[in-house]
Amino acid sequence: MIDMMNLKNCRVTKEIQLQIRSLIKKSHFSLTKKEYEHLIYYDFGLGHFDKEGVTIIDLLNTERLRITLMILLPYQTLPEHFHPSYPGEKGKEETVRVLFGETRLYIEGETNASNMVIPDGKELFYTVKHEINLIKNQQYTINHGTRHWFQGGEKGSVNLEFQNTVDEKRNRFTDPNINIA
């Protein structure tokens, strides 16, 4: 997951909003009407939400624990980042579990992906290429300090994210055009 707190909620079209609602419905994860209204759309300031972006809603966000619903459109990419350690904090341990669709997770390690789809012109900013392909009911825990990025499969995906609460301002993105300060 990423540092949501300091990133601006971006505008998305009605059509995209409906597409995201439809994905959530397909996941059978129940949200209240109010929660649907408070979905947050992030484009990381890059201006092409459907290519690089994510939709989230925090289900729980306390001093110690954060649980988030994360929705990715087909081939939408959550840019590469990591959650560094800092005094008093080892960094974020992040578990993603797929509820619907397929999520491609890329982490540090041997390159094993043959059909990886990096956003156009962004090759420099996607450096970790060990693919872990997750489908419904599969989950993976990303250790603290590990560089990673996510991408929705051909149908998109709906995911639960379990993570310890960290200072999200310290998260580091590979793409210098993403400014979270």
179: its two tokens: 């400014």
Least distance from C-beta 35 to Zn ion, angstroms?
22
Between 32 and 181, CB nearer to Zn ion: 181
What is the CA angle 97-56-69, rounded to 5?
30
Of 152, 70, 155, nearest to 117 by C-alpha is 152
Least distance from C-beta 78 to Zn ion, angstroms?
8
Q: Which residue is nearest to Zn ion (CB)?
A: 1
Residues 85-104 that bind Zn ion (CB under 5 A): 94
Least distance from C-beta 173 to Zn ion, angstroms?
10
Q: Is 1 in the site for Zn ion (CB under 5 A)?
A: yes
Q: Is 107 in the site for Zn ion (CB under 5 A)?
A: no
How many whole angstroms separate alpha carbon 69 and alpha carbon 134? 16
The answer to whether 73 and 119 are in contact (CB under 8 A) is no
What is the CA angle 134-101-82, rounded to 5?
50
# residues contacting Zn ion (CB under 5 A): 2
Least distance from C-beta 118 to Zn ion, angstroms?
18
How many whole angstroms separate alpha carbon 52 and alpha carbon 33? 26
Q: Is 54 in the site for Zn ion (CB under 5 A)?
A: no
Between 133 and 143, CB nearer to Zn ion: 143
| Interface residue list for Zn ion (CB under 5 A) | 1, 94
